Every structure is written in structure tokens, then in C-alpha cells.
Structure 1
Amino acid sequence: MLYFIIFIALLVFVGYVFYKMNSKKAERFPSHWHSILLEEVKFYKNLDLKEQRRFQDRMMQFLSEVYIDSVDVELVELDKILIAASAVIPVFAFKEWYYPTVSGIILYPDNFNEDFEFSHKSKSRRIAGVVGTGRLEGKMILSKKALYHGFKNSNDKRNTAIHEFVHLIDKMDDKIDGVPEILLENSYAIPWLKLVHDEMEAINKDKSDIRAYGGTKQSEFFAVASEYFFENPKLMKRKHPELYKMMASCFRVKV
């Protein structure tokens, strides 16, 4: 497994270097975005000035690497700010990071169904975000309503955009399976799986405050737990100390 992780890391590094050589230069961070981030993004607000500047640079680099478009909703400045912040937050501790499995973000006005229908006449509009596959490979679709809600309410431990970017991190080893091999040290893989299964069992027995969706699949548990970790870390540390410790180790940060 160690050799596999080294291979994946090397592959990501080579891909990142190649992309940097061929990507457009990041634009300058708009100065007025600083006050917006302070108002809207708690993670950014808690950083010191030096780290805030690094966060700004990472946002602009991300925005130079992907395109953001919208369907039936006007794309505004805050949309781009919140999407870029969502991309940076889970990988901020990593000095160099490139998302090789996404090239574009598509913003819908509201939740949508499996046929990507979002009008009020559409049935079963339960999906707030998805990492595309098949004809949508390389795309991420987000509900604008869910995107904004994720940064307005940290008490519910939900952030759809962070959830989907964590899926992209999980996908770095070519499969979304809840075992982020690029983040986990070799010795942590087995303890991580045991912890995941124990926590999922608690969720499904209604003995956990982790969102029920985290009990549906191993991959969803990792994404849901990541939302919790970045949205309300103090609560996770108190209620799920082992999980908090493991998440902090994965993301190499204590929030």
C-alpha cells in the first residue's frame, strides 16, 4: 500500500507540474474580497494575516484552474468567492494542491433530482451537490441555495460545497470509497476503517449526532464527517474525540 500511495503522490505531482505549465496565470486577488471573506467564511476569519494572504493566493490559483458557470441563475461575485473558499479549506494545510479530477463547476439555483431537473415542478429534488461521472466527468454541480446555506449556518454541521470537494480528494486514487489514501498515512488505514464502521453503526442506531446520510456509505461518511470537522470542530472534538483526531491528522490541521 505504501508503494501505491507513493505512486499516487508522484502522479498528482507530475499532473500538477504539467497543469501549472499549461494553465493560465492566476489573477490578482481583488482587495474588496477580504472584507467579504471575513464576513462570510469563518475559517478565513480565524487565520492570521499571513495565512489569510496565503488563502487568497490559493483561491485565485483555483479560480485560474477551473471555470465556473451557472444554469438559470445569475453568476455573481459571491458565488465564485464561496466556491473557491470551499475548494481551499480542506486542502489549505497542503502547500501545493491541484484538483486533477475537476475542470468546471456548474451552479444551479436550487436542489435538483437525478435527472438534473431543478424546477419546482420537478419531483424528488433532494440533491444539493454532485461530482459528475460519465458525460459529466470532470464537472461538479452545486445548488446555489445549498452553497450559501453552508456558510450561513455552522450549527447544522453541513456544507455542501466542502462535502463535494472532499469527494474529489477521495477520488484522487481513482475511486470514491471513503478511504482517502492520499491523506492517510499507511499505518492509519486500518484504524480509520474501524473508526468509520463504528461511527456508521452508531449513526444507523440513532446514537450519533453525525448526519444520517453519513451512515449510508463509507464514502459519504468521510464527506459528512469532513463537513462536521470544518463547520463545528469544537463540538466534534468534544463528542467524537477519536474521529476529530483522525480528521485533524488527515487534513493536517487543527481547526
Structure 2
Amino acid sequence: MLLGPYILKQLRKRPLVHELRRQQPAYYAALPYSLQRRFEHRVAEFLQRKTFIPRGESFDVTLDMQVRIAACAVQLTFGLEPVYLSHFSKILVYPNRYYSTIFKRYHCGEINMRGYIVLSWKDFETGYRNSTDGFNLGLHEMAHALHLQNIIPHDEHSFLDVRHLRQWNKLAATEMQLRGQKADGFLRLQACQDEHEFFAVSAESFFERPQEFRTHHPEIYRALATLLQQDPAQGVYQL
């Protein structure tokens, strides 16, 4: 369902604001009042621009679920000028992990270049249930979408600062090579698959365990903070 302009008014109603606070205790609730209002507005704008499609028998994507997904995207992009991942206009939500006929295995989420963000709702919820383990499906997939949106010729592109992105890519390439030679590391081995996975895995830890990230990889952490214009280790959500 594509929501109309009424959504901002609905979002400002106390039950939905309370729901948003419950869903984002480590982020939204920590914002000062003025930034909470800005966050709510961006969530509303995100919702207006997306079509949520339930997949699965007797499964529906409720408004509260849509708010939670939108809040995840806004959390990632909050330090930037408004970015709504406009190429990805449809969000498919499965109740659980789903079988990919293309990859011949079960997935919990993916980004489809035809304009889809795909999520397993169970895995999305699990990601926010433990907010300090560095595993968050929503942040991971939204980071993929953001990374790709920046290079897709569209009404939203090239919004990441070129110099900052160049520095990030340089540090990421070095760390991928080093991490691939070690059995253990702060960032899980999935990050070494390619630059897209490195960005997505890093985004998870950037928000869920920022102090540890900064301790283990200070240069990479600073580069990502500069790129996203946020510093969660310092409690700064817009630089």
C-alpha cells in the first residue's frame, strides 16, 4: 500500500510516536526533541514514497511494521541531506526466510536492482532485539541500498562526498585484504566478499557497537562517520 500525505499527521499521533520510540530505543529516543521531530518527518516522507508488498499467505505488513522499516532507513541516512533511496520504490516483506530460485538457497534479505528491497520480518525484528551484537538485517540491507543509490543515475545520486568516499574505499580495500588473511576479526568475514558487503557489515557495527568499532578500527570508523555525517560513539547524530 502506498501511503498518502495523511501519514505525517498519523505519525504525530501519540500511539505511533510511542511505537517509534519503542522500536528505536538506542537511537530515536536519544535524539533531542528537535531532531526527533526531524526524524519523524523523514520517516513519514520515506513511507509516502514506498510501496510495501507482503509475501506469504495470511501475512500483512501493518503500519507499525512499515514505520519500523522506514525508521531503520532514516537511522542510516539521518546525517545526510534527505535521502529516500528513491530507486528502491518497493519493499517486499516475507514473514520468515524465503527461498531464492535464483541463488538456490534461503535468504533473509536482499537488494534487487529492479527496485526492490526484500526483508524477512522475523530476521528484521531479531536485528533490533539485540542492538549491540553487530547483526542487524535492516541496517545491512538499507546500507546496500544506500551504497547503490549513490551510483544509480536517478533523481538521487552522488550524494556521498567524493573525497570522503574515496578515503573510505581506500581504507576498506586495505582492511578487506588484511581481514581475509585472519581467522578472527572485529568485522565478520562476510565483509571481505566485496566493497558492497564491507560497507553493509560496517554499517551494522557502526550503529550497534560504535565504541568497539572505534577502538578496533579508528581510521575506518572515522571515515564512515565522516561519510555518513554521524558519530554514534560520541552521541552525535548529525555532524
- Quickly name the TM-score band, shorter chain normalised: 0.7 to 0.9
Moved over 4 A (4+): none
Distance 1:147 1:183, change over 3 A: same
CA distance in 2, matches of 1:26, 1:185: 37
3-state SS of paired residue (1:209): coil
Aligned counterpart, 2:110: 130
The one-letter code of the counterpart of 1:131 is I
5+ unaligned residues in a row in structure 2: which ranges?
233-239
Aligned counterpart, 1:219: 196
CA distance in 2, matches of 1:201, 1:247: 18
CA distance in 2, matches of 1:189, 1:79: 32
CA distance in 2, matches of 1:189, 1:88: 20
Distance 1:31 1:216, change over 3 A: same
8 Å Cα contact 1:82/1:147 also seen in 2: no
CA distance in 1, matches of 2:212, 2:101: 36
Q: How far has the Cα of 1:190 moved from its partner?
A: 4.2
5+ unaligned residues in a row in structure 1: which ranges?
1-22, 118-122
Aligned counterpart, 2:205: 228
Percent of matched pairs sharing the same residue: 26
- 1:102 aligned to 2:78? no
Aligned counterpart, 1:210: 187
- Which of 163, 170, 174 is 2:152 aligned to? 174
8 Å Cα contact 1:99/1:169 also seen in 2: yes
Q: Deviations over 1:89-128 (max 9, x none)?
A: 11112243232211111100112232289xxxxx732x21
- Which of 223, 227, 230 is 1:253 aligned to? 230
Distance 1:163 1:26, change over 3 A: farther
Q: Deviations over 1:131-187 (max 9, x none)?
A: 113xxx111110001110111112220211121121122112129xxxx9532332x
CA distance in 2, matches of 1:50, 1:35: 16
Distance 1:190 1:139, change over 3 A: closer
Aligned counterpart, 1:11: none
CA distance in 2, matches of 1:116, 1:43: 36
Q: How far has the Cα of 1:65 moved from its partner?
A: 0.6
Aligned counterpart, 1:13: none
CA distance in 1, matches of 2:123, 2:86: 24
8 Å Cα contact 1:202/1:208 also seen in 2: no
- Which of 218, 223, 230 is 1:241 aligned to? 218
CA distance in 1, matches of 2:205, 2:158: 20
